[in-house]
Chain A
Amino acid sequence: MEAYLGYGLYILSLLTVGGIYAIFALGLNVQWGFAGLFNVGIVGFAAVGAYSYALLTTAESTFHLGGFGLPLPLGMAVAMVASAFIAGLIGLICIRLRSDYLAIATIGIAEIIKLILKNESDITNGPRGINKIPRTWEHFSEERFYSSWPMSWFGTPENWDAFFDSLPNWYWQPLFAGTILLVVYVIYRMLERARMSPWGRMMTAIRENESAARASGKNVTRRRIEAFVIGAAIMGLAGALFAQHLRLIEPTQTFDSAKVTFLVWVMLIAGGSGNNKGAILGAFLIWTIWSASELIIGGAINLIGAIFTTMDASILQTRAGFLRMMLIGILMQVILQRYPGGILPEVRPASPKADTKVAGTTGETK
């Protein structure tokens, strides 16, 4: 029984992290799938969101600036705004760059953001990072939350303490996972509406044929910046949730571009860029593979060691982590070649009646 509870909790954690990545992927889908903006600086927006959230909501600390102890929703809102603000600045100066150039500019800016977070240690505690970040639902059982309003209106600290003690210690896990899934759903619905709206069709038009869109009087630059900022705000929110999940963030390893930016790109491309459902599917799928592959590879090596007893499996065991990265790289190549449009290719919103066949056959779009 306990084992099944454990499996259940592991699946919840897959849903939690997969959901956070799904939010990243949706944000990227606005930028890349809708507007064709090649953003390789996802990690920068994630870091801005995570750090704004962490600084605003943690309890006062001697290690970093503040710890302002603000309510969690406010922290998440500020994370979105901060990330959107940075994106606006970048957008104003970089948006006219196309494709690969924007990619390299965003990668450079993301690295600079990380360097600032790492070196300005009076504010961010530098490379040691910020810990004790409050996590939604679990934070209610922290004393500083249940002894202050609004929770103190409903019960004394002693009552709350007894109440949380009576819950199983994983009580927050389904609630946290549920919250994240809810956020994914809300963002998905909003983006679907945006995609179907004139705004979304205009985005497709700009992406597919910029000069035609410009000629028909569309403000291309403005629309691009809009997409960039909206995408970044969503990534900022995802960054804040990421910080909640980890409860400690530091600039170097947490926000390693190979692990955040690259993984999110793989998720979007595998799921199907331009398709919001695809982005979500890709995120859950790739994260599950990423996480579960460790169990499978570990088990496989044990199995090899058990079958071929003469062989020394220890060297494989110490290098299993690298083997796993290699297999993920190969898997990605296979997905890229087998599913060029992603698992769920884009379906064009414009004139749905006439275009369904074409959309089905073209599949991949720019």
Chain B
Amino acid sequence: MKNVLMATAATLLATSAMADVNIGNPMAMTGPIPDLNAPIAAAVDLAATHVNAQGGMFADGEAFNVIRADSACDPTAAVDAVTKLINVNGVSAIVGPVCSGATIAQAESVAIPAGVLTLSVSASSPAISTMEDGTDLVFRAAASDAYQGVALAELAMANGYSDIAVSYANDDYNAAIAAVFVEAFEGMGGTVTANEAHEPNKASYRSEVATMGGTSDNLALFSYYGSGGITLMRNALETSAFTNFIGADGMLSDELIEQIGAENLMTSTFTTSASDASTPSFAAWAALADEAGVPASDPFVANGYDATFMMALAIEHAGSDDREAIAASLRAIASGPGEVILPGQWAEAKAILAAGGDINYEGAAGNQDFDENGDVAGNFSKSTIVDGAWAAELIQ
């Protein structure tokens, strides 16, 4: 049975040429956040399209293939998917899992033991900084919660909230960032009047909202818009429990405007990784994304593009798709010194690398300079409603 299946699988996979550069891309296609995941996957594909449209990989223009698998935001599925990507598809590196749990599990269980580099698009758990033992194989293109939580607390202070109620979805991403926020906000002299977890995906949050609404007019909401965030916000607005809302990038989405209505969101501010259109790198990205119909400032979409683009640059820099060389190259192309490369400038980067020059990728979601843990520092912007759409402004 197994042999038959393997043979079938091998035959079917043979449709993709072996000489190309293949990277694995496990994404949360199914599972709890497929809606959040879909635009990120589109951004990953967009980056690959740009690479292939502008000359492909290496001197002979090999195709840059993104082999997608389903990590379902689930450690079990992620480990299984990445096992297949590494062993059966033979990918050179992993750009991938969306969720922190899936990222850590696939890295510790499969990728690190196999010596394959992981560049996560959106894993934000602080545990990722400390998970490696003597290897340099896990990077991420999204800032750790530690940065965004503090940025949000400063924003709350700047907005003049002296007291705030905190409600966070009890999942790996939101629980972590809420904890950082509470600590930072209290450290700055603010009062947290209530700090409650809520279970994602419930039909009603009215009673929670009402109870917390009795303590403060301001709500810090940490949730995914797709798994309860919109419902909670709607319940809060319906009962008028809160006047002002702030939150992290899990909530920032055009979906929110479509469902709740821009006129109801005038008192809401959400942070996200830097997406100020006045910076050249984000402007370049926004233009490319708009052209391709990808929502440029949805959560982690820019990070997805950056991760894929940087991976292609790293492989180009390494000069081969051997797994060993990529990690060092990733550090080399992501930070200075070198010619600044913006999103979409593949042909330019390729020419510089071919001439033996250095490049420094400045990403859509930030400058993407990795520290010794393979983390990037965050630049954040705050988004508010201007003329019925989200408008971002750099805050840090």
Chain B CB within 8 A of A253 CB: yes
* Chain A: CB-nearest residue to B42: A318
How many angstroms between the C-alpha atoms of A303 and B15 in the bound complex? 7
Knowing A132-B108, A247-B108, the reply to whether A254 touches B170 (Cβ < 8 A) is: no
Q: Is the CB of A254 within 8 A of B9?
A: no
Chain A CB within 8 A of B100 CB: yes
* Chain B: CB-nearest residue to A121: B175
User: Among the listed A2, A3, A291, A317, which residue makes an inter-chain contact with B68, where contact means beta carbons less than 8 Å apart?
Assistant: A317
* Binary A-proximity of B196-214 (CB < 8 A = 1, otherwise 0): 0101000000000000000
5 A-B interface contacts by CB (under 8 A) = A6-B90, A131-B127, A135-B109, A253-B73, A254-B101
Q: Is the CB of B2 within 8 A of A288?
A: yes
Query: Which residues 11-57 of B have a CB within 8 angstroms of A?
Result: 11-13, 15-16, 29-32, 38, 41
How many angstroms between the C-alpha atoms of A252 and B173 in the bound complex? 12
How many angstroms between the C-alpha atoms of A126 and B199 in the bound complex? 12
Knowing A169-B113, A300-B12, A303-B15, the reply to whether A128 touches B5 (Cβ < 8 A) is: no
Chain A CB within 8 A of B136 CB: no
Chain B CB within 8 A of A192 CB: no
Distance of A127 from chain B, by nearest CB (Å): 5
Distance of A32 from chain B, by nearest CB (Å): 23
Knowing A119-B170, A127-B172, the reply to whether A6 touches B105 (Cβ < 8 A) is: no
Knowing A119-B170, A256-B74, the reply to whether A248 touches B113 (Cβ < 8 A) is: no
* Chain B: CB-nearest residue to A306: B15
How many angstroms between the C-alpha atoms of A137 and B66 in the bound complex? 33
Distance of B354 from chain A, by nearest CB (Å): 28
Q: Is the CB of B80 within 8 A of A128?
A: no
Q: Is the CB of B170 within 8 A of A126?
A: yes
Knowing A9-B87, A126-B170, A296-B12, the reply to whether A318 touches B41 (Cβ < 8 A) is: yes
Distance of A285 from chain B, by nearest CB (Å): 7
The interface centre, meaning the residue of B29, B101, B104 with most chain A CB atoms within 10 A of its CB, is B101
Interface size on A, residues (CB 8 A): 62
Query: Which residues 1-54 of A have a CB within 8 angstroms of B?
Result: 2-3, 6-7, 9-11, 13-14, 17
How many angstroms between the C-alpha atoms of A249 and B83 in the bound complex? 17
Q: Which residues of A contact B229 (CB under 8 A)?
A: none
> B-side interface residues toward A, CB under 8 Å?
1-2, 5-6, 8-13, 15-16, 29-32, 38, 41, 67-70, 72-77, 79-81, 83-84, 86-88, 90, 99-102, 104-105, 108-109, 113-115, 125, 127, 131, 133, 170-172, 175-176, 197, 199
* Chain B: CB-nearest residue to A10: B87
Say what secondary structure dominates the interface of chain B. Answer: helix
Q: Which residues of B contact A118 (CB under 8 A)?
A: 170
Q: Which residues of B contact A246 (CB under 8 A)?
A: 75-76, 79, 105, 109
Q: Is the CB of B115 within 8 A of A169?
A: yes
Query: Which residues 120-134 of A have a CB within 8 angstroms of B?
Result: 121, 126-129, 131-132
User: Among the listed B10, B90, B109, which residue makes an inter-chain contact with A245, where contact means beta carbons less than 8 Å apart?
Assistant: B109
How many angstroms between the C-alpha atoms of A227 and B11 in the bound complex? 46
Q: Which residues of A contact B8 (CB under 8 A)?
A: 296, 299
Knowing A13-B83, A128-B127, A288-B5, the reply to whether A170 touches B113 (Cβ < 8 A) is: yes
How many angstroms between the C-alpha atoms of A79 and B255 in the bound complex? 44
Q: Which residues of B contact A9 (CB under 8 A)?
A: 83, 87
Q: Which residues of A contact B72 (CB under 8 A)?
A: 253, 321
* Chain B: CB-nearest residue to A144: B133
Distance of A335 from chain B, by nearest CB (Å): 14
Q: Which residues of B contact A135 (CB under 8 A)?
A: 109
Distance of A120 from chain B, by nearest CB (Å): 11
User: Among the listed B30, B75, B115, which residue makes an inter-chain contact with A254, where contact means beta carbons less than 8 Å apart?
Assistant: B75
Q: Is the CB of A11 within 8 A of B6?
A: yes
Q: Is the CB of B127 within 8 A of A63?
A: yes
Q: Is the CB of A131 within 8 A of B105?
A: yes
The interface centre, meaning the residue of B6, B87, B170 with most chain A CB atoms within 10 A of its CB, is B87
How many angstroms between the C-alpha atoms of A173 and B102 in the bound complex? 20
Q: Is the CB of B197 within 8 A of A245?
A: no
Knowing A249-B75, A302-B15, A306-B15, the reply to whether A320 touches B29 (Cβ < 8 A) is: yes
How many angstroms between the C-alpha atoms of A295 and B108 in the bound complex? 23
